[in-house]
Amino acid sequence: MQLNKREAKRIIDKLQIEHRNKKHNYGFLKYNNKKILPVYFSHGKGDMPGNVPDKFRQSLKVNMGDFEDLKNCPLSRDGYIKILKSKGLIDKE
Amino acid sequence: MILILEDSITKLADDKTTSTNNGTKKESTLEEHYLNNITEITRDIEKIDTSTSAVPKISYKNIYIETLNSDIFTLIRPIPVGIEYDGEVYIANNYDLELYGYSEIETEAINDLRKSILEFYEDLKDENNLGVFLERKVKYCKEIIREV
């Protein structure tokens, strides 16, 4: 799996993952003001090395197909939240 | 890989059966058949070599770390760390916390994981408004980390 840091940043921005500052490894996905998931940030430019893109995907708790949809845009934040709800990671309203 | 080889060997066996049953094939034809089959098998093996060399071989090992290298936080007990190396980068994982760190240097990957754990705990230890996933992880952190 290939993923460059710009693509990762696009996913992070789309999912509105909050990040304190560039010195920190992790940001958090929030929903209804609750922190839900930690997501690793890769700083710098270029491709994420080796198997790191797959770790990034796993930290988002999505399968390969959903990750491709996140990367290529069809999957929105709302759609992603639905996936997390179906996995029991966010309480259903 | 095994399937491709099995297919080639089956072809070879089928040819042998046919020639034995009817007994009409000349020696030279039979030899040609075997030679053709051997050529096919060789091609299959070449294909296997190409396909396996494209897949990076990942090595794995498990260690324990006893410290977070912090003046503020210490580990109550050693925690397991899985290290994988794909020929390019080391990734150090703690599967209980589902956190990782990485680097081209193994010890730096472990230190990056330590940094991830420390940040994670510092950010969340006093937080009350957490989702189910993070609640569980912070609970585990409190079992393994104490403030000095």
* Tens of pLDDT, residues B28-70: 677 777 777 777 777 776 666 555 555 668 899 999 999 999 9
Distances (CA, A) of B7 to A16, A86, B2, B12, B37: 52, 43, 9, 9, 11
**Interstrand relation of B59-65 and B79-85 (parallel, antiparallel or unpaired):** antiparallel
Contact B134 A37 (CB under 8 A): yes
Confidence of residue B114 (pLDDT cuts 50, 70, 90): very high
Average pLDDT of the residues in B121-135: 91
Contact A55 B100 (CB under 8 A): yes
Average pLDDT of the residues in A4-11: 84
Same-domain pairing of B64 and B50: no
Range of the domain at A25: 5-86
A41: in domain: yes
For residue B93, the model assigns a pLDDT of 95
The 3-state DSSP class for residue A1 equals coil
Same-domain pairing of B34 and B94: no
Same-domain pairing of B70 and B34: no
Same-domain pairing of B64 and B47: no
Same-domain pairing of B34 and B66: no
Contact A26 B120 (CB under 8 A): yes
B101: number of CA atoms within 13 Å, CB side? Answer: 20
Residue of A nearest to B131 (CA): A36
A37: in domain: yes
Question: Which residue of A24, A34, A91 is in closest CB contact with B119?
Answer: A24
Interface confidence (ipTM) of the complex: 0.84
Range of the domain at B93: 59-147
A92: in domain: no
Same-domain pairing of B99 and B32: no
Write out chain A residues lying below 8 Å of B99, CB-based. 26, 38, 40
Domain count, chain A: 1
Q: Cβ contacts of residue B85 below 8 Å, gap of 6+? A: B58, B59, B91, B106
